Amino acid sequence: MQKKCKGLLGLVILCIILIAAGLWQVKRFAAHPLLIQQETIYTLPAGSGRVVLEQQLESQHIVPRGPWFGWLLKVEPQLAKFKAGTYRLTPGMTVRQLLTLLASGKEAQFPVRFVEGQRIEDWLKTLRDAPWITHKLADDQSTTVAQALGIQPAELEGGFFPDTYYYTAKRSDISVLKQARDRMVQLQKTVWEGREANLPYKDINQLVTMASIIEKETAVAAERGKVASVFVNRLRKGMRLQTDPTVIYGLGSDYQGVLTRAELEKPTSYNTYVIPGLPPGPIAIPSRASLEAAAHPETSDFLYFVANGRGGHTFTTTLANHNQAVKAWRKVENERKTSEK
């Protein structure tokens, strides 16, 4: 009887040792770093169970092969509540951290940058090139895009807020554009309602159009208000705006990089050397700063400006002074070209 008790006790001790060893192995497996050497995007399909998850992780060389994966999910059942999605895995992440991430449902976020000063066609190309986007737009024609967003084609240019947008895998291009559109509509409304009195804009479209011209004319933040004052002063005096970016926009694909005299004289609805007042719509996506400058131009008597060859512009009040500034700019440009030879 005593022998039998000793044998049973020994068996119990052996079982305890085996269980402890097994738990130690499970904990060791959970703390094991993933096998990846660089950031990895991993997608768990909808409807996947434990077996599929384990097979995928092993076949893609993310976790080491072995018998411990299933045991870990039994020992720590909260890790078994994984959710389908696309996740970002990083080197150094452990198996437990991986399963915790899958259980959290915090999918990878991907950035797409919409830059101020670009045209809507540039943004659409950026979306086409963005990874993990679901492309629901059949094409990038203005009528197609406008119909998908429920707006008029004329509202596309200048109608989206420039920023970096983050999206999860399979989000649609239309959804991202709608987010950018909603933000810009709200911003335009706020700026329009807070604009200075007696500005020469008939409607919000003209303010946005002015902002887009300012955006294309200068990249210097401190100059935006001055540029706005030049164009506002010219509008009030009935002078033509004579701004090259509008001419370039009107030429479209015919523009070859350098404006010719013939192109400056070619009539288009955007050629502000020919038409009076503002063109019919924006020529680019304006930033918040350019919208604010259009709504709150500096008070000045400036009617002209030209590049100074140092990244900024020289502002003048008379044509004679402007011509002198043009000569100074040409001298700087010639000196630069000579030094580069």
- Within 8 A by CB and 6+ apart from 116, the residues are 162, 215, 284, 285, 286, 287, 290
What is the model's pLDDT at position 77? Answer: 87
Residues 6 or more apart from 41 whose CB is under 8 A from it? 86, 87, 88, 89, 108, 132
Kindly give the interhelix angle for 224-237 and 204-217, rounded to the nearest 10 degrees: 130
Question: CA-CA distance, 213 to 217, in Å (whole number)?
Answer: 6
Q: What b/e string do you get for 72-86 counting C-beta neighbours within 10 Å, with b at 16 or more?
A: bbeeeeebbebeebb
Q: What is the spatial distance between Cα 140 and Cα 154, in angstroms, rounded to a whole number?
A: 14
List, as one string, the DSSP characters of 90-128.
-TT-BHHHHHHHHHHT----EEEEPPTT--HHHHHHHHH
For the chain, the structural domain boundaries read 31-108, 111-189, 198-302
The stretches of 218-318 forming alpha helices (DSSP H) are 224-237, 244-251, 261-265, 288-295
Q: Hey, is 42 helix, strand or coil? A: strand
Token look-up 């990249």 returns 219
Considering only CA atoms, which of 237, 318, 240, 248 is closest in space to residue 273?
240
C-alpha separations of 30 from 70, 73, 95, 293 in Å: 11, 10, 5, 57
- Sign for the CA dihedral angle at 97, 103, 104, 107 comes to positive
Distances (CA, A) of 257 to 122, 224, 263, 313, 332: 17, 24, 12, 21, 21
- Integer Cα distance of 137 and 19 in angstroms: 57
DSSP 329: H
Instruction: Supply the DSSP symbol for 215.
Output: H
pTM to 2 decimals? 0.84
Closest CA to 235 of 202, 261, 212, 257: 202
Mean pLDDT by 10 residues, the chain (341 residues): 55 53 68 91 90 90 85 85 93 92 94 95 95 94 96 95 96 96 97 96 97 95 96 97 95 87 91 96 97 97 92 94 91 74 60
Q: Domain 31-108 adopts which CATH fold?
A: Dna Ligase; domain 1 (3.30.1490)
| Alpha carbons 44 and 104: distance in angstroms, whole number | 13
**Region for residue 43 given its phi and psi (left: phi exceeds 0; alpha: psi -120 to 50; beta: otherwise):** beta
- Classify 26 as helix, strand or coil: helix
79 vs 70: CA distance, rounded Å: 11
- The whole-angstrom separation of Cα 312 and Cα 226 is 11
Amino acid sitting at position 166: Y
Looking at residue 173, what is its pLDDT?
96
